[in-house]
Amino acid sequence: MKTSFALSCALCGLLAIVGCSNPTSGSSTTSGAPSAPTGVTAVAGNTQVTISWAASSGATSYNLYWSANSGVTTSGTKVAGVTSPYVKTGLSNGTTYYFIVTAVNAVGESAASSSVSAAPATAAGVSSVTPLTASSVAASGASTYPASISDIQSLFSAFANDASATSELTALSTSIQNTFSGSSALQTSYNNFQTEYTNFPSTKTATFNASLQSGALGPDIALNTATANISLNAATFDGLSIATDSSNLKSLSGSILGSFDAGLIPANIPTGPLKDAKIRFNLGADASASTSTPGLFSSSGNTAGNVTVSANYNLSVSIALSMVEASVVNGTVTSSNMGGIIVLAANSQFSNTQTIAVSSTTNLSSSLSQFFPSTAPVSLTITVYDDSGNTKFTQTYSSYTDLINAFTSITTTTSMPSAIKKVISAIATKASHVR
């Protein structure tokens, strides 16, 4: 069973910077020559662009013409005998390139297709955030501090099982949800995206752009920056709407670019163990998947072929929590008034382009799993400070897997993931997903 359209779209919704169509040429052809190619798309990657198009009736081959100048014609640089999708490599990141395609047979060459453009980029071009420090948040009031990962585990476990913490986070989450529900500008952007996404099978494009102004998160959150830009694009072999089973799907691509910088307002936080929290992140990601084999993306077929996958992402995040628990049990040791300022800083990048062979008996999702590394490269540091900014404990990890393994006892506790999720979502998640 091959992946469904929704799964394919979700994969690429992680993820590509796509060029916009800009028709510049006629559609008439010499009698007997093929018609001009249609459905041409350009998907940017790292120093490369992938160009795809629908087959032209009667064509035996295709020519690609490209230029770094707009208004490209058949006088541009020619690449003869190409097949769709074609990956043009050796390009410069940040430069916009323009492409047209012609169809060829024994009679002659067709008129040029509409032109498309794309600008190659690395990891969506996002920058690292300025790391948060102990001075970024209010004092915790703690008198003892975690001195190991085990201590941090015990502190978080105490927090997860603290009724006052649950009450505190619930109040914050409700306040933020209510604020977002009352944000007409953001709600309008989200509603427009929902409409575009619903129409995606026929239009094959959807975008979401939103920017929140300072103070837009209500009385509990101090907002500095919140932006989100999302795009999704698709192409089909026949130029028609995406079939229900995705059998005519030729390519999918998407991109997301977002930034967030906000924190709690300590004076307005409900009484509880969490004294302050701040988060800032920059995220950029783009991805695409394309094939020259009709039916490869079908949810019901058993088609064999190749799929070309390209993805880039760049994530930089910094989180600071100021918290204190009256009693923390770590093994046989009980600590009073344990807490402090816990700062997490992470930077991660990934870039890859690969052509993957899919057999008629394998699931497309399983085939794509080999594209992504089992342990994403990351530079991640967790540090505990006292209220004066003195470092009490620090640990660095080279992968998220290492961090998760270090917190195994937390991740296997049913209440802990929920508590961590509430802390993060109370500050960030609602900014990108309005209920």
User: What's 102's domain CATH number?
Assistant: 2.60.40.10
Cα–chain-centroid distance for residue 98? Answer: 26
**Total structural domains within the chain:** 2
254 and 309 share a domain?
A: yes
In a shared domain, residues 142 and 78: no
Domain that holds residue 89: 20-118
Regarding whether 197 and 249 lie in a shared domain, the answer is yes
> Considering the domain boundaries, does residue 10 fall inside one?
no
Mean pLDDT for the stretch of residues 236-255: 90
Q: Is residue 404 in some structural domain?
A: yes
Whether residue 316 sits in one domain with residue 167: yes
Measure the CA–CA gap between 284 and 292, rounded to whole angstroms: 28
pLDDT score, position 411? 42
Domain end residue (candidates: 98, 118, 138) = 118
pLDDT digits (tens, 9 = 90+) for 299-342: 776 788 888 888 877 888 999 999 999 999 888 889 999 999 99
**Do 180 and 290 belong to one domain?**
yes
Q: Are 150 and 408 in contact (CB under 8 A)?
A: no
* In a shared domain, residues 161 and 223: yes
Question: Do residue 323 and residue 221 come from a single domain?
Answer: yes
Q: Do 233 and 257 lie in a common domain?
A: yes
* Residues 298, 8 contacting (CB under 8 angstroms): no
**Of the candidates 101, 118, 135, which is a domain's last residue?**
118
Q: What is the share, in percent, of the chain residues with pLDDT greater than 90?
A: 28
| Claim to verify: residue 156 and residue 108 sit in the same structural domain | no
Over residues 9-14, the mean pLDDT reads: 36
Would you say residue 4 lies in a domain? no
Q: How far apart are CA 41 and CA 19, in angstroms?
A: 7
User: Quick one: 27 and 61 in the same domain?
Assistant: yes
Continuous segment of H or E residues that includes residue 326: strand 305-330
Where does the pLDDT of residue 163 fall: very low under 50, low under 70, confident under 90, or very high at 90 and above?
Answer: confident
- Mean pLDDT, residues 28-41: 76
Domain boundary pick from 93, 118, 143: 118
pTM of the model: 0.64
Q: Which of 147, 282, 310 is nearest to 226 (CA)?
A: 282
One domain, residues 69 and 177: no
